[in-house]
Structure 1
Amino acid sequence: MFAILLTVSLFSQGLTIVGHGKSFITAFPENLGFFYRNTSNSLRVTALHDNTFVDIFFNGSSTPTKKILNLMLGKTETVVFPKSAEVYQLNYSTQSIRINSTKNIVVHSVSSANFTINTISAQTNVVQPNANLGINYLIPSLNYTNFLTTFGISQSTSSFTRYDSFRLIIINAEDTENNITIVKNISDKIQLVNFTIPSYQLIQLQADDSMMMVKTSHKIAVLLTHPCLDKTNCSCSMIVNQILPVRFQGQNFVVPHIQGITQRQLVMTSNDEASSLSQNNTELTPSSSGYLSLSDLNTQYVTASSDVSLRLISPGLFIELIPEHMFAGCYLLPFYSNSKLAVVIAKTDSTAQVSLGSNTIDTSAWSEISNTQYSKAEITSSDPLALIWTTSSKIVVYIVDKSGDTIFGGPAIPINEQPAPNGCMIPGEFVVGYQLLKWTESLAYCTKLEREFACPINKYIQIEFTKQVNKTNVEGWIGLRQSLMTTEWYWQTSATSASSSVDYVNWANGQPRANKLEICASLSLNGKDDFKWKTARCCKKKLPVCYKPPKIFIL
């Protein structure tokens, strides 16, 4: 039996610890933009490693429709799609777009349509890597009339019933038939709607306010959209945002002030129907539409009583707010317009450690946020692609673009979860060999690949390994070995490089064993035991695990 959920929020635009990966799936929603015709749709692919090759599959093709060859670190390739790529029918479609790469990339989706210099339908969206997708999603209660009433907007599209509601695009992210269940609340009664989606196909539905949840048998991507969202100046703009699984929620948020926004509300989605939101220990009371108002437009700190998703909304603008526990160490900012603004939030005592590119952000740019440990800075960039990073406490960064009278944007793309002392660090790459080898043979194999023997010298490298490795039922060698002279364990990264310092270990229970014949270390590759280490005889044959260390990301 499903509980009745409190789902009164709207859009979710890209929320995760890291936004890079090797496989993505997305689609371009319809951009009517009050009947603008010259719609431009594109994907911007940025490489995080040299010699990156990308295949893009469109409209159900089993062979790449487009290719990007040999993309280098920090370089961006723009792939343009025709207007026919937009998903406009309420039904099944093959118009999904899959992006596969040989190395980690980030993907940014851009859609725009101009009519005059002051009216533009524009939207950007961070395409989430498949690793961030899931099988359980909360769907906001979307009442278009309530939204317009809240902001005092007259519905200019009232004669077109197809625009009276938001839309939900569900994309099957896997190469198998996907069983979908939509949970609805109709007159306080739970109803289930069941159907299937074929491999990599999608379905577009009207997102009425009865929708509560989507549950699936395999991973999906979920987009909420409106092709012609009314604004206050008798125009409209397409909106698109990607909802993430329920695990991407939190309780503490810093709500930023956005230049040019004079009206704003908060909307909240939670599994807990009793969840509430407080500001300065005062509970915020929802309006009849379910929206929550802050005392003023300044940047403020709010706390939820249980895990929630929180959004800041304004006519034409929907920004997913990043929970405090998911702040990161480095962000990539892909800008679209000539007005390039970043809103940065950092702990007040660590603002001197925050940089834009190679330059520390000037102290005069920071202003303290009342009743919090945080400060805010509004930073402009001269480049279409920028990096903001910190060497100490984690930060959060939002992109604010402006074209004509349209303000759009959302969270920047988190590249690295942890702060780094020398810049924006690109995570290392793991490679698991296909042939069973002895320990010394495995070391030589990694050296031939111009990689190190995998050495998870700290928990962050170990965690990164668990995210990247393709699980298998065999074991793999790592560069950990015991000295015959001292019996101490040491790291052997390559044939000529060794370190005696072993400060982090992930031994399985009962390990390491005191066996003079077992002086090498391996780990399980099936993931069932958290990739724990154990001792083994060096002459045993296992898969070599190689590693390319992190490097500084320079644009």
Structure 2
Amino acid sequence: MLPDMFLTNVILFSVSSALMMISLIEPYLLEAMSGWDMPNVARSIQFELKTEMFAILLIVTMFSQGLTIVSYGRSFITAFPENLAYFYPNTLSCLRVTALYDDTFVNIFHNGSSTPTKSISDLQKGQTVTVVFPKSAEVYQLLNYSTKSIQITSNKYIAVQSITQTDYSTQTNVVQPSENLGMNYLIPSLNYTNLLATFSVSQSASFSTKYNSFRLIIINAEDTENNITIVKNILGKIQLVNFTIPPYQLIQLQADDSMMMVNSSCKIAVLLTHPCLLKADCKCSMIVNQILPVRFQGQNFVVPFIPEIKQSWLFMTSNNKASSLSQKGTKLTSSSGFLSLSDPGNPQYVTASSNVSLRLISPGLFIELIQENMFAGCYLLQSYTNTFRIHVIAETVDRDHLNTDKGFIQSLKWTEISGTKYSSVEFSLNNRASTTVWHSSSKIAVYILEETDKIVYGGPAIPIKENPDPSGCKVPGEFVVGDKPLKWTKSLAYCTNPKREFACPTNRDIQMELARQVNTTNVEGWIGLRRSLMTTAWFWQKQTSSSTSPPVNYVYWAKGQSQKGFCASLSLDGSDFKWKSASCCEKKLPVCYKPPLTIGPLSWSDSTDFP
């Protein structure tokens, strides 16, 4: 879209994927260079470490540190892992889709179909629909390609949650939009036997080896062949396994503690799963964890306290073997990679010595912890049951400004987290009419937890607004392009009414949001910028009732385009959305803007079966 948005990709693709791997696995390479033990399926590669290469890698690192806080979008891809649960036949796999705008249309593609297998039309703001899939949608093949990926696309922003359930196991998972996917992932080196031993659970001798370890599902998120490299560390020796995945297909691999990372040539989604994690009562819980790309790692975390969990540990994933985790300056001790909490009966603030991802683990429960830099102003609540619990972490000085869409929350019993600026609180919400939890002045972290048959499940809520807003939980305003070319003055009249205005990208963030939202076409569209006939100075024609037109402090002109005409348009071809000046009498598509609206209570539609 915008040149500065694409700068990262240009740099990334100018450096080979091998170079990217060096920066990630360099701590392991130093001890493995003495001897390479490469399997037949792996390709040998040679590394030439030069100063120039490290300089390039440094530039890549600088440009890839940006975080996308929100978890809504218009394109998603996921899959339903196998839910064994001791062969219980009563399984349920479904997607829960929530529209954030009126007049939303959703298409779902499955089994490699190029045409929608399921279409949902005319969803309104806050409306949630549940789509139920058959048992056959689960991915059970090992070491084999599959077309069982599920693509979800929409004309406007939506949030998507995946749910899978049996008689004794329920798991929910926030499906990340394509914007949050990446090409570099670190894999948690989870050892199934060590995990069971940690929780004093013995593994049955009759339990099939097919189910005694974790699995990794890698989904090609793009319409092109994707080159994948699995990096393994086996007894201190690096091994690379290379293969390709066809467009929108997936592969499921047996995962073990030798897997370090997955690198790809274009975007992928990565799921860490376990079909049946044994528990002390001879039942089992399914595990689903969508791994986030490396760029989402951080160093500071607040670990929530969950009273119903009798035993829990932290598991840290990092490309730096020397990474450590500390609480109040004291390093946490490790047992087979699982870190003991120093005070498990209270929420804790922990700090890593380098960027890591962190998970709170208990039998049947994996919670990806929200790093401090990814706290948000507002969260969407998608619950499976009618009663659920909310864990909130907020700054102590502002903690009493917590709200739901139903209003201010009173009489909460906050717990101050010792030695930090944060406090935490847990409270219950009854019925699913509550849609959002938001804070008026500071960023917060929100986890949603539910319980079915004494099985606790859940994880982070869905962030839908990065910054706090005293007026409520609002999604970005909506950009709409008219379907008929008009002159500039006619476009102004077309866009100006009580519910919308002429699009005025008065800063870079608004320009980027416009570029993300509008459907591309090979024409141009008018925006609300024109020149004064008296002074020839540019000014915004911002028709709002609340304020005067802002000064023109931000421009995005194409080269040599600012002086040719008296009205401004932008390119809608999807390449750069640069501005041009033109005669106001030319006919172009009007680009309008609907200001942000507060998300209200959800309206729940009946479940619909997938064909």
Same fold (TM over 0.5): yes
Distance 1:77 1:514, change over 3 A: closer
Structure 1 Cα separation of the partners of residues 304 and 349 of structure 2: 9
Q: Which has the higher strand share?
A: 1
Q: Say whether residues 1:168 and 2:216 are aligned partners.
A: yes
Equivalent residue number for residue 455 of structure 1: 504
Structure 2 Cα separation of the partners of residues 113 and 317 of structure 1: 15
Give, in angstroms, the shift of residue 380 of structure 1: 0.8
Give, in angstroms, the shift of residue 544 of structure 1: 4.4
Structure 2 Cα separation of the partners of residues 105 and 138 of structure 1: 27
Which residue identity does 2:464 align to in structure 1?
Answer: I
Structure 2 Cα separation of the partners of residues 464 and 352 of structure 1: 32
Q: Say whether residues 1:425 and 2:466 are aligned partners.
A: no
Equivalent residue number for residue 406 of structure 1: 455
RMSD: 3.0
Distance 1:457 1:206, change over 3 A: same
Which of 49, 58, 75 in structure 1 is aligned with 2:127?
Answer: 75
Give, in angstroms, the shift of residue 405 of structure 1: 2.2
Range with bigger deviation, 123-132 or 64-73: 64-73
Give, in angstroms, the shift of residue 253 of structure 1: 1.0
Structure 1 Cα separation of the partners of residues 351 and 428 of structure 2: 29
Give, in angstroms, the shift of residue 149 of structure 1: 1.2
Distance 1:487 1:352, change over 3 A: farther
Structure 2 Cα separation of the partners of residues 68 and 206 of structure 1: 35
Structure 2 Cα separation of the partners of residues 32 and 5 of structure 1: 38
Give, in angstroms, the shift of residue 541 of structure 1: 6.9
Distance 1:508 1:492, change over 3 A: closer
Give, in angstroms, the shift of residue 293 of structure 1: 3.0
Which of 581, 584, 591 in structure 2 is aligned with 1:545?
Answer: 591
Distance 1:383 1:482, change over 3 A: farther
Any residues of structure 2 matched to 1:307-346 within 5 Å, and which? 307-346=355-394
State whether residues 157 and 163 of structure 1, in contact with CA within 8 Å, keep that contact through their aligned partners in structure 2: no
Q: Say whether residues 1:478 and 2:527 are aligned partners.
A: yes
Which residue identity does 1:399 align to in structure 2?
Answer: I
List gaps (5 residues or longer) in structure 2.
1-17, 29-66, 602-611
Distance 1:195 1:512, change over 3 A: closer
Give, in angstroms, the shift of residue 371 of structure 1: 1.2
Equivalent residue number for residue 110 of structure 1: 163
Q: Say whether residues 1:226 and 2:271 are aligned partners.
A: no
Equivalent residue number for residue 238 of structure 1: 286
State whether residues 491 and 499 of structure 1, in contact with CA within 8 Å, keep that contact through their aligned partners in structure 2: no
Q: Say whether residues 1:397 and 2:397 are aligned partners.
A: no
Range with bigger deviation, 355-364 or 167-176: 355-364
State whether residues 507 and 532 of structure 1, in contact with CA within 8 Å, keep that contact through their aligned partners in structure 2: no
State whether residues 78 and 269 of structure 2, in contact with CA within 8 Å, keep that contact through their aligned partners in structure 1: yes
Equivalent residue number for residue 81 of structure 2: 29
Structure 2 Cα separation of the partners of residues 455 and 498 of structure 1: 15
Structure 2 Cα separation of the partners of residues 273 and 543 of structure 1: 55
Q: TM-score, normalised by structure 1?
A: 0.89
Equivalent residue number for residue 193 of structure 1: 241
Give, in angstroms, the shift of residue 521 of structure 1: 4.1
Range with bigger deviation, 282-291 or 399-408: 282-291
Equivalent residue number for residue 227 of structure 2: 179
Equivalent residue number for residue 150 of structure 1: 198
SS at match of 2:335: coil
State whether residues 5 and 212 of structure 1, in contact with CA within 8 Å, keep that contact through their aligned partners in structure 2: no
SS at match of 1:69: strand
SS at match of 1:146: helix
State whether residues 4 and 190 of structure 1, in contact with CA within 8 Å, keep that contact through their aligned partners in structure 2: no
TM-superposition CA deviations, 1:438-481 (whole Å, max 9, x none): 54454356459974321134554344234335678987543123
Distance 1:492 1:183, change over 3 A: same
Q: Say whether residues 1:270 and 2:318 are aligned partners.
A: yes
Give, in angstroms, the shift of residue 367 of structure 1: 2.3
SS at match of 1:365: coil
State whether residues 34 and 237 of structure 1, in contact with CA within 8 Å, keep that contact through their aligned partners in structure 2: no
State whether residues 31 and 228 of structure 1, in contact with CA within 8 Å, keep that contact through their aligned partners in structure 2: yes
Structure 1 Cα separation of the partners of residues 177 and 389 of structure 2: 25
Which residue identity does 2:384 align to in structure 1?
Answer: Y
Distance 1:430 1:509, change over 3 A: closer
Which residue identity does 1:165 align to in structure 2?
Answer: S
List gaps (5 residues or longer) in structure 1.
7-14, 115-119
State whether residues 169 and 455 of structure 2, in contact with CA within 8 Å, keep that contact through their aligned partners in structure 1: yes
Equivalent residue number for residue 12 of structure 1: none
Which of 93, 106, 114 in structure 1 is aligned with 2:146?
Answer: 93
Q: Say whether residues 1:373 and 2:426 are aligned partners.
A: no
Give, in angstroms, the shift of residue 535 of structure 1: 6.1
Structure 2 Cα separation of the partners of residues 5 and 263 of structure 1: 32
State whether residues 442 and 544 of structure 1, in contact with CA within 8 Å, keep that contact through their aligned partners in structure 2: yes
Q: TM-score, normalised by structure 2?
A: 0.81
Q: Say whether residues 1:467 and 2:467 are aligned partners.
A: no
State whether residues 5 and 270 of structure 1, in contact with CA within 8 Å, keep that contact through their aligned partners in structure 2: no
Distance 1:549 1:189, change over 3 A: same
SS at match of 1:461: helix
Give, in angstroms, the shift of residue 334 of structure 1: 1.1
Give, in angstroms, the shift of residue 191 of structure 1: 1.6
Give, in angstroms, the shift of residue 281 of structure 1: 2.0
Distance 1:133 1:471, change over 3 A: farther
Aligned residue pairs: how many?
Answer: 539
Q: Say whether residues 1:255 and 2:303 are aligned partners.
A: yes
